[in-house]
Structure 1
Amino acid sequence: MITQLTDFPDNVAAFRCTGQVTKEDYTKILAPAVLGKLQTHERVRVYYEIAEDFSGFDPAAMWEDFKVGVGHLTRWDKVAVVTDIDWIGNAVRFFSFLIPATTRLFTLAESAQARAWIST
């Protein structure tokens, strides 16, 4: 499940992932929020917090994430990924060079630092 987070600057799309993330989470929550930010801002920042109870992405959800990301590749400013899940951290480290945005990885204990970083 994806939940949209509040209390971020207007140019930040912020989300928390828990449990199993589905295509419907992307099409009903993430994509509309991100596309709304892209309509009002030239460059957008993204905050992804992945909770300890996260169990994975459905393959269709991964495809939706890819489409949103690549469809607006040059419009990302910063990406903060907050997680304690090793395989996600490793994937962020491995693939971050493909994202033309400043990308940083934070632990869940560093979520306040991540929020401050994405907001400035």
Structure 2
Amino acid sequence: MISRLDGMPDGVIGFEASGTISAEDYRDAVLPALTEAASGGEVRFLLVVGDFDGMTGGAVWEDLKVGVEHLRSWKRIALVTDIEWMTHLTAMFGWMTPGETRTFPSARRAEATAWVAG
């Protein structure tokens, strides 16, 4: 499940993901916010992941499309998680992600929000 976070700084869209992520999560929550942000020129994206049980096949496809459809709009992506393998994968493959990417532990969520907004 993905839910939109309220109270983000201007220009930042934020989401919290938990459990199993589905294609509907992307279509209903992420895509409308992303399209709106991209129309403003650049996307600054905060993702907070607590517990994670995986993604459906449709969600993986939607995730790939999200990155490509707005390729030139991505400015910064902050991943906030204590899930070690996510941190390692982001460090290894973050260079393939459009825009600048950083990971932060949950205890540094406020710092992640400030960085992605900067």
1:37-77 alpha-carbon deviations (Å, 9 max, x no partner): 112x11110001101x2211112101101101111111111
Alignment coverage as a number of residue pairs: 118
- Residue type of the alignment partner of 1:115: T
Report the Cα distance in structure 1 between the residues aligned to 2:86 and 2:57, rounded to whole angstroms: 15
User: Cα 1:59–1:90, aligned 2, differ >3 Å: closer, same or farther?
Assistant: farther
Report the Cα distance in structure 2 between the residues aligned to 1:63 and 1:10, rounded to whole angstroms: 29
Report the Cα distance in structure 2 between the residues aligned to 1:42 and 1:78, rounded to whole angstroms: 12
Give the deviation of 1:99 after TM superposition: 2.0
Kindly indicate whether the alpha-carbon contact (under 8 Å) linking 2:67 and 2:98 is maintained by their aligned counterparts in 1: no
Report the Cα distance in structure 1 between the residues aligned to 2:92 and 2:16, rounded to whole angstroms: 22
Give the deviation of 1:4 after TM superposition: 0.3
Match of 1:31 in 2: 31
Aligned ranges for residues 14-53 of structure 1 at < 5 Å?
14-39=14-39, 41-51=40-50, 53=51
Normalising by structure 1, we get a TM-score of: 0.92
Q: Which runs of no fewer than 5 residues in structure 1 stay unpaired? A: none
Normalising by structure 2, we get a TM-score of: 0.93
- The alignment partner of 2:10 has SS state of coil
Q: Does 1:87 align with 2:92?
A: no
Q: Which runs of no fewer than 5 residues in structure 2 stay unpaired? A: none
Report the Cα distance in structure 1 between the residues aligned to 2:85 and 2:57, rounded to whole angstroms: 16
Percent of aligned pairs with the same amino acid:
38
Report the Cα distance in structure 2 between the residues aligned to 1:56 and 1:90, rounded to whole angstroms: 16
Match of 1:106 in 2: 104
- Residue type of the alignment partner of 1:94: M
Aligned match for 2:61, one of 63, 66, 69 = 63
Let me know the Cα RMSD of the aligned residues: 1.1
